[in-house]
Amino acid sequence: MNFTRWSARLPGTQRRAAARTEQTASPDRRGEGSVPAARAEQLTDEPPSVPAVDELRVREVLDRVPSLVALVHGPDHRIAYVNDAYTAAFGVRPLGERAREALPELDALGLFPLLDQVQRSGKPRTVKSRKAPDGRSYTFTCTPVAQGDGKGGSDGRGVLVFATDVTDHAEAAERLRASERRQRETAVTLQRSLLPQELEEPDDLRVAATYHPGGTEAAVGGDWYDVITLGGGRTALVIGDVMGRGVRAAAVMGQLRTAVRAYARLDLPPHEVLQLLDGLAAEIDANQIATCAYAIHDPNEGKLIYSSAGHLPILVRDENGTVLRAEEPTGPPLGTGGWMHTSGSIPLAPGSTAVLYTDGLVERRDADLDEGIAALERALAGATGTPQVVCDRLVRSAGVTPDHDDDVAVLVLQHPARSGPESELFRNAALELLGGVEAAPRARAFASGVLTSWRFPADLHDLGVLATSELVANSLQHGTPPMRLRLRRTDRRLIIEVTDGDDHLPRRRRAEPGDESGRGIAIVATIASNWGCRRTPGGGKAVWCEFALPRTQPT
């Protein structure tokens, strides 16, 4: 095979050959003793200068490059040329032989389909960083060349294979990917360890949640959720998203989640919890912001009271399949400061399902955010079953896969509509406390009758009447009208609550032997499983206590 016939068709070679022809066409320029202009200035005792690239034949250039070069031609890709670097890497290759047998390294790399494609299309192709049998990594560029006579004629096609050693780059990239994988694994581990391992189980709600870390190397973020039982039958539900990715975002998320649980124990209204959280977020990292929605469910009110710091709206599906969207966020994201948050409400009647979620579930780069929320509403309208079934269905409908480009957190809660024997385990009774001191004996008689009708055992009956007496007496002495007594039973506990119009919260204190008062709350705290107090939204306070029921409670 005459390599010159192939080299004449490489890009630029004809132009350089024509230039050299013009320079040598005149006899004057080819006279004896004439030298190129570049050499005329050199001293005779210096070594001859390196020829310019344009003065070298293509083969001489390719023989000198450190990259691997091979030229194949014809439909069966017979070898026309391999340079010294190629021979050093893979050994001597016989010219004229079929490349599939003579160049097994190209077959191992899967390059023959690429050679066929380049030969058919006449367009160059490149494959990046493939590891060859010699253990090195190469980037291969396959360029079509035409076999001709040097005058523009053509009688066949060949392919020039040019391989650049990128082993160092490939190893560095692999080390970087390994480091990113370790970072991601660390962030995922931290993230999952900071999320609740098991959700608390409220008496009146069924809950389920899921978290899906993003599939890309840096997609793990600061999404979190939580369920917090507040006592007195109330439950706090939280969803949040710390902006950013990696370990830092997960660590900030853990601090905020811990703070939310601490603030929740104060039994404050949702907007006050977010107000406290906003200040803390600024202290943790002034450059870090987060969104959060905090909601409280009270089974006696039939609605969710919520506050949102820049978070996506809560969705509620009623028992008829109609989906309601909570109002827009009631305040900016946490960490921005200078804003007074407010609380809103959305109905959550028996038979309803509510969904709290982060933006990874509904936000897509090629679609408007409102479109994603609308699609979630449609999916929720047709979602039935347990909270876990609903949760999984919503994630599937949103197209969340293992390689999803953002992390996703979803919290689903249901307020079940109970009927039949189960409804007997969830009962309410209330009494308005009117008049003066005579309200106390009426309250004791009312509590005794209700607890008897609920078929509580004698010891629990007596403890319930005693707790009612002490709470009512405390309200009559320190509170203001209107006053109300409420008794509630679930399948797990008895709850006694007294509300009045005074917003000064009682606190447990140690009464001295000579004191005539101050023992009521101490008695309640001693006999009850739990007790607490909170301010009510319209002004005033509620003081409550609860008793755990025996596991085999007769109905």
> Is residue 16 pLDDT above 50, yes or no?
no
Residue 387 CB neighbour total at 10 angstroms: 21
Per residue in 364-406, pLDDT (tens digit) is 888 889 999 999 999 999 999 999 999 999 999 998 887 777 8
Q: Which residue has the higher pLDDT, 186 or 502?
A: 502
Residues 6+ apart with CB under 8 A from 415: 204, 205, 297, 299, 348, 349, 350, 351, 352, 353, 354
Confidence of residue 288 (pLDDT cuts 50, 70, 90): confident
Confidence of residue 31 (pLDDT cuts 50, 70, 90): very low
Confidence of residue 212 (pLDDT cuts 50, 70, 90): confident
The torsion region of residue 470 among left (phi > 0), alpha (psi -120 to 50) and beta comes to: alpha
Q: Which residue has the higher pLDDT, 101 or 288?
A: 101
Angstrom distance (rounded) from CA 152 to CA 131: 38
Residue 54: per-residue pLDDT: 59
Q: Which residue has the higher pLDDT, 198 or 297?
A: 297
> Is residue 261 pLDDT above 90, yes or no?
yes
> Is residue 20 pLDDT above 60, yes or no?
no
Angstrom distance (rounded) from CA 190 to CA 175: 22
> Cβ distance 545 to 467 under 8 Å?
yes
Maximum Cα–Cα distance for the chain, whole Å? 137
Residues 6+ apart with CB under 8 A from 362: 312, 369, 372, 373, 375, 376, 398
Helix (H) or strand (E) holding 398: none
What does the angle CA 472 – CA 476 – CA 480 come to, to the nearest 5 degrees? Answer: 120
Confidence of residue 166 (pLDDT cuts 50, 70, 90): confident
Q: Which of 48-57, 398-407, 491-500 has the highest mean pLDDT?
A: 491-500
Angstrom distance (rounded) from CA 501 to CA 40: 110
| Least confidently predicted of 82-86, 203-207, 435-439 | 435-439
Confidence of residue 12 (pLDDT cuts 50, 70, 90): very low
Angstrom distance (rounded) from CA 215 to CA 233: 39
Which own/partner contact pairs does 504-510 have at CB distance under 8 Å and 24+ positions apart?
Answer: 504/478, 504/541, 505/533, 505/534, 505/535, 505/541, 506/474, 506/478, 506/533, 506/543
> Is residue 500 pLDDT above 90, yes or no?
yes
Residue 518: per-residue pLDDT: 62
Find the mean pLDDT for residues 130-144: 88
Find the mean pLDDT for residues 21-49: 46
Pairing of strands 156-165, 68-73: antiparallel
Instruction: DSSP for 47-63, please give it.
Output: PPPPPPGGGS-HHHHHH
- Mean pLDDT score across all residues of the chain: 83
Q: Which residue has the higher pLDDT, 59 or 494?
A: 494
Helices and strands in the chain, H and E counts: 16, 20
- Which residue type sits at 83? N
> Cβ distance 319 to 349 under 8 Å?
yes
Share of the chain above pLDDT 90, in %: 46
Per residue in 445-469, pLDDT (tens digit) is 999 999 999 999 999 999 999 999 9
Share of the chain above pLDDT 70, in %: 84
Angstrom distance (rounded) from CA 311 to CA 209: 17
> Is residue 41 pLDDT above 50, yes or no?
no
Confidence of residue 183 (pLDDT cuts 50, 70, 90): confident
- pTM over cut 0.75: no
